[in-house]
Amino acid sequence: MRTKSLKKNKINVVTLGCSKNVYDSEVLMGQLRASNKEVAHEEEGNVVVINTCGFIANAKEESVNTILEYVQKKEAGEVDKVFVTGCLSERYKPDLQKEIPDVDEYFGTSDLPNLLKALGADYKHELLGERLTTTPKNYAYLKIAEGCDRPCSFCAIPLMRGKHKSTPIEELVAEAGKLAANGVKELILIAQDLTYYGLDLYKKRNLAELLEALSKVDGIEWIRLHYAFPTGFPMDVLELMAKEPKICNYIDIPLQHISDSILKSMRRGTTQAKTTQLLKDFRASVPGMAIRTTLIVGYPGETEEDFQTLKTWVKDMRFERLGCFTYSHEENTHAYNLDDDVPEAIKQQRANEIMELQSQISWELNQEKIGNTYKCIIDRKEGNHFVGRTEFDSPDVDNEVLIDASKHYLKIGDFAQIKIFDAADFDLYGEPV
């Protein structure tokens, strides 16, 4: 017999996928809280909202499995209602309605007012920048634009997120001020493409002006840049990074590949020579900056020669941070018309080779840090260690600094000067100075 769940009218928001989804969930939760709804993030609740990812095969599978898990809970009487939002339902709504009809309602990425209505809440326009953050109190994501105008052949994001739309500088500064008042010290700027920021609103690439304005916000000590695009990168950002201590000497710039034939097929609008020069310019403008990139292996038509070109280039560039994905053949993308001709086992082998190479590079670069002292932000305590990060590291994806909690006490959310005494591939070990 179906038993009604015990937690009455508590809305549990479950977030899958990237930092942009985290941000969207936080905005949703802020709106719900303003309508006096009881809301939680990935806890128990009788109403569930799943914010899905629809980017690549693994992410889609995780989203579908999560939906099925909560539909089963609904059937068992453990939850009353299940709503689905985000990229997967934006992209596959008719299919999902047919395949998983027990979901109460599906919403797309720009359906927030309708989703709120279904949850018995009103969309409040005046809540500009108000949200319920789910990250540790010391850092928060700041989404500066939505959507993407780039024509990359492999990417389904424009299908799910629409055209590029920048948020005005004054709105972002106001939002940053509210975050700082709540104890946030580090802003992580996110968008599908930071490089494009401002073109729609100000008729010019305006990331540097935004950074200058955010640097003036009291309480914000670090500003970090995520997801820049290599073509048309605004070089005035580097000048500002070099002189403004609040802007971390760090950039996340997904380069995807380096073989000219693959770059051309990917419609990246650049070449190996141009990309290599851009990275040299980065390092010349901001000596010691950390460059993070992501690569795709196994793209249609990638030959062994293309892969070896990529591998040699990774060896030469010595990226501080690097992630590698296997190509995912996504319907309705330009590359879907190509033959997905690299076998899955070879894709995986190539990804493993790149990550093995990067692991060695990371170890060597980390050895050079031994004996140095860095300003670190302390994110959390885990087991016997306090876990911190330098300005060269982003949460969840980069290196961490581990400090022995049985010997030293540090306040979570504070900055500390940490001297490094040992290092592994992706971890540094240090003690407060």
How many Å apart are CA 84 and CA 52, to the nearest integer?
7
pLDDT band at 124 (very low <50, low <70, confident <90, very high): confident
> How many C-beta atoms surround the C-beta of residue 174 within 10 A?
14
Q: DSSP states of 43-67 as a string?
A: S--SEEEEEE--SSHHHHHHHHHHH
Tokens of 41: 């993030």
Token pair 């992209």 is at which residue? 91
With a cut of 90, say whether residue 8 has pLDDT above it.
no
Tokens of 210: 């935004």
How many Å apart are CA 328 and CA 98, to the nearest integer?
24
pTM for the predicted model, two decimal places = 0.90
With a cut of 80, say whether residue 130 has pLDDT above it.
no
209-221 average pLDDT score: 98
Question: CA angle, corner 98, sides to 95 and 99, nearest 5?
Answer: 80
pLDDT above 90 covers what percent of the chain?
Answer: 85
Residue 320 near residue 349 (C-beta atoms within 8 A) = no
pLDDT value, residue 129: 66
Strand ranges, E, within 342-414: 373-382, 385-389, 400-404
pLDDT value, residue 3: 46
- What are the pLDDT digits (tens) for 301-337? 999 999 999 999 999 999 999 999 999 999 889 999 9
Alpha-helix residue ranges (DSSP H) falling in 136-259: 157-161, 169-181, 199-202, 207-215, 236-243
28-38 average pLDDT score: 91
* Beta pairing class for 247-252 and 222-225: parallel
Strand ranges, E, within 27-146: 38-41, 47-52, 81-86, 105-106, 139-143, 145-146
How many Å apart are CA 125 and CA 122, to the nearest integer?
9
